[in-house]
Structure 1
């Protein structure tokens, strides 16, 4: 196993359940200090919602070793030799290198934060946030820094969540975003709702701005972020631009990569063209069940499922991973943001014609205390009415409603079919017509009107 987080150690654990140490020897290499942790929880640890780092660790190295998994921390694999069925690894403490042979190889190298090649990007005070080590380094910087000005570069999930974390830490936060609105995973009209809510929380949003360099002080530390025409003072900078698959080893070894630089696998998560190599987690591309194309989606939910499939197959069983519909949910303070399926530009790119509708509703019956507004956008295919995508922005109770749409997308339902779903109802939980079903009714009517 190369990689000791979600996909790698899920695979190791599942394989061990199926075969004991006398039947299967398992060696896992991890270059960091930790295993089996929630990278998705790092912004909430940095922001203080999670009180300490260990809460994010699902299984410690000692627990893995107790299950007869030879886990080698602070050991980085530096070369793959698929023909010779071996890997070369370096002990990061001693520098010693050695080759290890394998019968079955699992690549779970994850993803790396996008770090543009710009002046000052490596200056002290500039942080990416991908691993527990990254989170600890950021917290150490926050503890040492006297100033209270933070700039977040990028406004995707990581950027928005880190903006909230820094607001919670008492920082004055500016988000510099190259897009027209935050959350490019949403259509711009829905991203505008996120923009307005973030500014309402005291976060300064700067859209359509390309960072050109990081400015440093005489001591070499960051002092500002520069765009084409402005400078934004900063005592700390957090990069929230997104991630890319970490497939450097795979590329050098000649393994097949897709359009997004992720490893390509079959449904059993076996690397295409390589009978005894599997890959999973943030380093692979997966099938989008709605568009029919390969995508790179870095989520712990997928990584754990990949690991289960890989471990089952490597342990002598049989399992497959069918694909995804692109479901994600996040929040910034009390604003919940969710999406599943295709955006308008995704549908256009794959040649789908569609109708789009947007509705306003509430999380509970309008007369019930604390009912909060939410906006639901739905895309349905022209003529067939097949559901293509749903986006939701709202307050408490909004985000997880996207799961209704995720199930409908997976089942290939139409908007018309969705209107008859027998969802739970009581005034504390929803209006008589759930907001997702209201959007489905409107989408179905619009599709019918277009025939």
Structure 2
């Protein structure tokens, strides 16, 4: 079915969400089909389009001077390319049977229905805000959008005190803790887990813990926040756990994000165990021919474990958008899945992981061996050779690589890409030992740390396999 406008017919694509996945999809579809064939209307409830959420901690910390540097494409640039992008407009309802969406202009309050032929849901994720007393008090900030980042900076500029408490120690929590240290705040991180960075095994998380304390950050692990206390004017004044109270002039939530799928759920669209939308390999919502979804609001296939995961990263969102845009415009593209690669840093310490942790491998019912090695980023005699710890998991009997975690100095983080490629290719650790990796003393020792770990894994497997 197509919409008739006077005496001509053209298809209409409606996109809900104006960041990475939504606008990549719109842009790709526009490149493949002109305005006379395909009309594109996109809705974004915030003030910004196509921005880098991953850059927010670096903007807050002062590494990135200007907010506009995080904007890949402004609303005006999208409109100039023939995309009717409506900012500060929130979609409040998806009517799947009627093939239309209801939206509200956040400035005027005006509501209207917009019919579609094809729909893209790219509603992103929202920071987890546990229902604690005081969680919505002024001075408590999540950081997911540029609007959030701006609100936090506004608070920092108005706040006299210099005590910051970060709740949670995942990527965002750790990066925001460093950003607040860079701004001259006294920082305490309150973390539920035994060590920061639950995306690593605890033995590797310990290395991150030590680095954070080296920066002057107070790490409080195994601590559950019970409430947030407010003072004059209702502003935040402390974070309370079962055992202690931590004074706070500003609180940053780094507890992770959840898929923003309330609209999709209300419309009866299929959600997975992590509350993310379920799609096929073409990123089409399962059971719905003309609806696609991508970015932080979907679940993706983990190629190592074979189960669905929720991973909120700009790399995936942009790839999803490319795939969706191609398919909407009548082409064919797929997104096969992920291996779960991520990198981060605290000061000079680089943190990387891909594939499964020990607990993921146990949960997937896999029998495995894990090895941990110490190495250096360059030849030991070359100046500035930084120490590096590499942990590798390999499956018993098959020898298949299952996961790699790396924590170390400069040059450690991006080495994880070698492992990400090996995982995607289904390589064994034995095959990895003969990989032809680039070598010169400024870049690595004769045996690259990844290869040293692979050799150790081969030895460990030989010892345990009868």
Question: TM-score normalised by the shorter chain: which range applies?
Answer: over 0.9
CA contact (8 A) 1:383 1:450 kept: no
Q: What is the aligned partner in structure 2 of residue 113 from structure 1?
A: 127
2:290 corresponds to: 276
In 2, the alpha carbon distance for the partners of 1:437 and 1:202 equals 34
Residues 14-50 of structure 1 show CA distances to partners (whole Å, capped at 9, x for unaligned) of 0000000000000000000110010000000000000
- For the residues of structure 2 that align with 1:277 and 1:100, how far apart are their CA atoms? 15
Q: Which residue of 1 aligns with 2:237?
A: 223
1:103 partnered with 2:117:
yes
How many residues get paired? 451
Aligned structure 1 segments of 4 or more residues deviating by more than 6 angstroms: none
Q: Give the alignment partner of residue 329 of structure 1, picking from 335, 343, 350.
A: 343
Instruction: Map Cα deviations across residues 44-99 of structure 1 (whole Å, 9 max, x no partner).
Output: 00000000000000001000000110000000000001111000000000000000
Query: Does 2:457 align with 1:443?
Result: yes
Q: SS state of the match for residue 316, structure 1? A: coil
The structure 2 residue matched to 1:184, chosen from 194, 198, 210, is: 198
- The offset of 1:2, in angstroms, is 0.1
| TM-score where L is the length of structure 2 | 0.96
Distance between the aligned counterparts of 1:4 and 1:382, measured in 2? 45
The answer for the alignment partner of 2:172 in structure 1 is 158
Aligned to 1:25, what secondary structure does the other structure show?
strand
- TM-score of the superposed pair, with normalisation by structure 1: 1.00
Q: Could you tell me whether the CA contact under 8 Å between 1:355 and 1:447 is conserved in 2?
A: yes
CA distance in 2, matches of 1:128, 1:22: 41
1:450 Cα deviation after fit: 1.5
Give the equivalent residue in structure 1 for 2:7: none
User: What's the C-alpha RMSD, in Å, of the aligned pairs?
Assistant: 0.4
Partner of residue 277, structure 2: 263
Shift of 1:268: 0.1
Match of 2:189 in 1: 175
Cα distance in 2 between the residues matched to 1:166 and 1:374: 26
Q: Partner of 1:91 in structure 2? A: 105
> In the aligned structure 1, how far is the partner of 2:187 from the partner of 2:399?
43
- 1-structure distance, mates of 2:119, 2:288: 10
Partners of 1:201 and 1:429 in 2: CA distance: 27
The match for 1:311 is 325
Give distance in 2, aligned partners of 1:384 and 1:137.
Answer: 51
The equivalent of 1:42 in structure 2 is 56
1:254 counterpart SS class: coil
State the alpha-carbon separation in 2 of the partners of residues 127 and 248 from structure 1: 21
Q: Partners of 1:399 and 1:4 in 2: how far apart?
A: 30
Task: Tell me, yes or no, if the aligned pair for 1:177 and 1:206 is still in contact at 8 Å.
Answer: yes
Question: Secondary structure of 1:278's partner?
Answer: strand
2:154 matched to 1:140? yes
Q: Which runs of 5+ in 1 are unaligned?
A: none
Alpha-carbon distance, 1:218 to partner: 2.6
Q: Aligned pair 1:348/2:362, yes or no?
A: yes
Measured after TM superposition, the shift of residue 219 of structure 1 is 2.1
Question: How far apart are the structure 1 equivalents of 2:61 and 2:73?
Answer: 23
Q: Which residue of 1 aligns with 2:5?
A: none
Q: 1:445 offset after TM fit, Å? A: 1.2
2: distance between equivalents of 1:353 and 1:270?
34
1:28 paired with 2:42, answer: yes
